[in-house]
Amino acid sequence: MAQPNLRDAILASGLETLHRKGFNATSVQDIAEAAGAPKGSFYNHFSSKEELGAAAVEAYAAKMGQLSLLQDKTVAPLARLRRHFVALAEAARYPYDCGCLLGNFGAELSGQSPLIRERVAAALAHWANALAAVVEEAQREGALPRDRDPKTLASFVIDCWEGAVLRAKVERDRAPLDAFLAITFSKVLA
């Protein structure tokens, strides 16, 4: 019988390896080795690499601690939104090596794995809903015009963020993230 912690170790190692190398460039053997587990142990916990990939998307989305910044009602809504994206920009994973797992998997797997595409879509929708709630709060307080649909605006900002992250990853330069922050908070969320 498998050790109770081994599934978590495989998931954590899988998330790290898939994020760093990409889904198609990562083998089950790579994940098992990173977890310090025999390859057969992988299959005791996950029926396939695709199942692990879907679980990795959920784990990644759950660990987006920056979403908690959006809920701090002691900070004005627009300041919370800015803090959220600044925290993302400062996070160790952005942008140079890994990019955003949601964006990476969305680009790499949306035509290949309906399961992973659905999980990525759900994670992006959850993120958009969290942002939209803060946008709506800013509108109620008069910090943003009320003529913009909060959900549409939140989704647009996420789309811009994901593009900036991809560009920063490609260029190995944080300038696209800085441009995102400058334009978003002086023109879009202003």
138-148 pLDDT tens trace: 999 999 999 99
- The answer to whether residue 77 sits within a structural domain is yes
pLDDT in tens, 63-83: 876 788 899 999 999 999 999
Which residue in the block uniquely carries the two structure tokens 């943003």? 144
Q: How confident is the model at residue 90 (pLDDT cuts 50, 70, 90)?
A: confident
**Does 168 reside within a domain?**
yes
| Residue 1 clears pLDDT 60, i.e. is over it | no
CB distance 85 to 184 below 8 Å: yes
For residue 64, the model assigns a pLDDT of 78
Count: domains in the chain:
2
Tokens 């998330």, residue located = 15
Residues 75 and 109 grouped into a single domain: yes
At residue 110, what are phi and psi to the nearest 5 degrees? -65, -30
Domain containing 156 equals 64-188
Any domain includes 1: no
Q: What is the CATH number of the domain that holds 85?
A: 1.10.357.10
Give percent above pLDDT 90 in the chain. 83
The verdict on 53 and 69 lying in the same domain is no
Claim to verify: residue 74 and residue 161 sit in the same structural domain:
yes
Same domain, 124 and 76: yes
**Average pLDDT of the residues of the chain:** 92
In this predicted structure, the answer to whether residue 151 has a pLDDT above a threshold of 80 is: yes
> Are 28 and 49 in contact, with CB atoms under 8 Å apart?
yes
Same domain, 38 and 76: no
CA angle, corner 98, sides to 96 and 99, nearest 5? 80
Q: What integer pLDDT is reported at residue 91 of this predicted model?
A: 79
Q: What is the CATH number of the domain that holds 54?
A: 1.10.10.60
Same domain, residue pair 68 and 159: yes
